[in-house]
């Protein structure tokens, strides 16, 4: 059963701490997306990668957020330093070469910054 996996599922941290979220896309998928979901803003696209290269990260606050894809099976999203306004659910999604339009989502990381 091919799925996108994300770790951790839940994270509680204090303001100023570094947070790292990890995503394993579906095997063979070459495009990875990071979304953030909040009550106020809904679902926002933060960044996405194609074949491990960043295509667009214009939705991401550059001063504290960074996204990388060190290999084809791992994408990371880091927040340093974290702030209470970063509290949200962060989703990773992936899509395949032959069906770029259809994105499959991971279970999300629920982040709470105190």
Partner 1 sequence: AQTVTQSQPEMSVQEAETVTLSCTYDTSESDYYLFWYKQPPSRQMILVIRQEAYKQQNATENRFSVNFQKAAKSFSLKISDSQLGDAAMYFCAYSRLVSFTGTASKLTFGTGTRLQVTL
Residues of this chain that bind partner 1 (CB under 8 A) = 31, 33, 37, 42-43, 45, 48, 50, 55-56, 89, 91, 93, 95, 98-105, 107-108, 110
Q: Work out how close the CB of 65 gets to partner 1 at its nearest, in angstroms, rounded to a whole number.
A: 18
Q: Is the Cβ–Cβ distance between 21 and 80 less than 8 Å?
A: no
Count of CB atoms situated within 10 Å of the CB of 26: 17
Query: Among residues 18 and 44, whose Cβ is nearest to partner 1?
Result: 44
The whole-angstrom separation of Cα 32 and Cα 87 is 22
Query: Among residues 62 and 98, whose Cβ is nearest to partner 1?
Result: 98
Q: Work out how close the CB of 16 gets to partner 1 at its nearest, in angstroms, rounded to a whole number.
A: 26
């Amino acid at each position: 059963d091919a799925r996108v996996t994300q770790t951790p599922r839940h994270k509680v941290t204090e303001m100023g701490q570094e947070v790292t979220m990890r995503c394993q896309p579906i095997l063979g998928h070459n495009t990875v997306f990071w979304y953030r979901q909040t009550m106020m803003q809904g679902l926002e696209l933060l960044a996405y990668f194609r074949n491990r290269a960043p295509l667009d990260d214009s939705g991401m606050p550059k001063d504290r957020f960074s996204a990388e894809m060190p290999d084809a099976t791992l994408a990371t999203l880091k927040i340093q330093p974290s702030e209470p306004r970063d509290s949200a659910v962060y989703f990773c999604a992936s899509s395949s070469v032959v069906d770029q339009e259809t994105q499959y989502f991971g279970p999300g990381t629920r982040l709470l910054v105190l």
